[in-house]
A and B are shown apart, each in its own frame.
Chain A
Amino acid sequence: MGRIKVMIYKILLAIWMNLIIAAVFLYVEPAAGFPGEVSRILFFHVPMAWVATLAFLLSMIASSVYLITRKVSADFLAQSSAELGFLFCFLATVTGSIFAKATWGSFWNWDPRETSIVMLLMIYGAYFVLRSAVPDHEKRRVFAGVYSILAFCTVPFLVFIVPRITSSLHPEDTLNPAGPGMDMKTLIFFLGSLCAYTALFVWMLRLKVRMLRIMDNEQGVKFKI
């Protein structure tokens, strides 16, 4: 993308996000079945969780690509994506915790959903620890890739199996338990918010990858001197 295109992208993204935020507070009615304004968190919490999932998936795929092709750019993508995923995952945890306080009465009670999101944070925390503990560049990339694939294989246990054993309070598409899911207006703005956050993620990802590339180049220059 040229500089002007990026500029346009940024401006459009800013307008779009502001519109969405204003609309979900002023235009959309709060969903029935939840106390007060609580349900508006849907427009922020769910997109964050979605972006986190997307980012971790992308990171895993990029790691596999790196292990197969050994192209450094794939590892840059894996690392940036993991870092951004961690950020969004953390935000999803915090917003989810606020929602939990408002509806279930406590910030944290080890609901299966809460357990699995903490696991994700721990896995990627460990991923960054591993990255910082291996001095050799090449080795660090390989180990990080291997670990992220290994960790990814344990995620299904948490997401699909543990919640089956214990019951969860997390609302699925039960925003209106009796009705047909979300009403039209909510759905439109929900999807809009989803798109906005995904676009934000793409922009941040590009920035992060560029930053890593520049840092890597600088190190190469230092090496040569």
Chain B
Amino acid sequence: MFALTTLVAVSFSIGSFRIEESQRPFLYAVLLWIILVFSALSGLSRSFVKEQESGTMDILKLSARPQAVFLGKLFFNLSMLGVLELIIVPAFILLMGYKIKFPGCFVAMMVTGGLGLGAGTTLVAAMIAQANARGALFSALSFPLLLPLIITAIKGSERAAYGISAAGWPEVKIAAAYAIIMVTVSLLLFPLIWEE
């Protein structure tokens, strides 16, 4: 819901003709990722808080291995992000008249960017579920972790949309590497948090 509201507000106030042709590649990539990241964060922060609030945390701790819980939460977050991107990205392209030169590269950037978002935040979500001031804490903790990914993703989608050759691939690789590193480290560290 937040995602759609932002998208409508952005496209209503900017439209597809307010921005000059030369400025578009950069600004569109930035806008798209701002919408994606903010709408993703509001959902991602809830993944473990839900368990805590409904009191099912302890049962989960007793009945499942930590790695299984983590992977389950990760896949839930990733599928949520997938659905979010499926709605937002086509709508953004239609509303803003976003022309993409290299669709394959653009799709790959979206997929790896989404993977990175999910991978980088799941562990943080598990931590804030056990702390005070959850909502504010979640964004304070995850922004520094996500910033390298977001910078890369913005660059990558900009290049995929308007680049000279299919030059967005290095960014796709960086985002994929980020996702893999974060998942591996989180898998190793998660049991420490879970068993507290």
Instruction: Tell me the A residues contacting B by CB distance below 8 Å.
Output: 67, 115, 119, 122-123, 125-126, 129-130, 133-135, 138-139, 142-143, 145-147, 149-151, 153-154, 157-158, 161-162, 165
Which residues of B from 132 to 155 have beta carbons under 8 Å from A?
132-133, 137, 140-141, 143-145, 147-149, 151-152, 155
Q: Is B147 touching A122 in the complex (CB atoms < 8 A)?
A: yes
Say yes or no: A126-B193 contact (C-beta < 8 A), given A133-B133, A149-B185, A150-B186: no
Partner of B123, one of A126, A145, A146: A146
Q: Say yes or no: A130-B192 contact (C-beta < 8 A), given A119-B147, A150-B185.
A: no
Q: CA A158 – CA B174 in complex, angstroms?
A: 11
B144 x A126 contact (CB < 8 A): yes
B178/A157 in contact, CB under 8 A = yes
CB neighbours of B144 from chain A (8 A): 119, 122-123, 125-126, 151, 154
Min CB–CB distance A194 → chain B (angstroms) = 28
B124, B151, B186: most-surrounded residue (chain A CB, <10 A): B151
Q: Nearest Cβ in chain A — how far from B58, in angstroms?
A: 15
Please tell me if the beta carbons of B141 and A129 are within 8 angstroms of each other in the complex. Answer: yes
3 closest Cβ pairs, A-B complex: A157-B148, A122-B144, A123-B144
Chain B residues close to A by CB (< 8 Å): 120, 123-124, 127, 130-133, 137, 140-141, 143-145, 147-149, 151-152, 155, 170-171, 174, 178, 181-182, 185-186, 189, 192-193, 196
Could you pull out 30 A-B pairs where Cβ atoms are within 8 angstroms?
A: A125-B140, A129-B141, A130-B127, A130-B131, A130-B137, A130-B141, A135-B132, A139-B196, A142-B192, A143-B127, A143-B193, A143-B196, A146-B123, A146-B127, A146-B189, A147-B127, A150-B182, A150-B185, A151-B144, A151-B145, A153-B181, A153-B185, A154-B120, A154-B147, A154-B178, A157-B152, A161-B148, A161-B174, A162-B152, A165-B170
Give the one of B130, B132, B145, B170 with max A CB within 10 A: B145
Chain A nearest CB from B44 CB (Å) reads 15
Give the complex CA separation of A153 and B141 in angstroms: 14
Partner of A154, one of B123, B141, B148: B148
Assembly CA distance A157 to B147 (angstroms): 10
Interface centre among B127, B130, B192 (most CB of A within 10 A): B127
In the complex, the answer to whether B189 meets A157 with C-beta atoms within 8 Å is no
What is the chain B residue whose CB lies nearest that of A115?
B151
Chain B residues contacting A142 (CB-CB under 8 Å) are: 192-193, 196
Residue of B nearest to A123 (CB): B144
Neighbouring B residues of A151 by C-beta, 8 Å: 144-145
How far does the alpha carbon of A153 sit from the alpha carbon of B179 in the complex, in Å?
A: 11
Are A134 and B131 interface neighbours, CB within 8 A? yes
| B145 engages A154 (CB within 8 Å) | yes
Which residues of B are found within 8 Å of A119, using beta-carbon distances? 144, 147-148
How distant is B133 from chain A, measured CB to nearest CB, in Å?
6
Closest residue to B146 on the A side, CB-wise? A154
Report whether B193 and A153 are in contact in the complex, using a CB–CB cutoff of 8 Å.
no
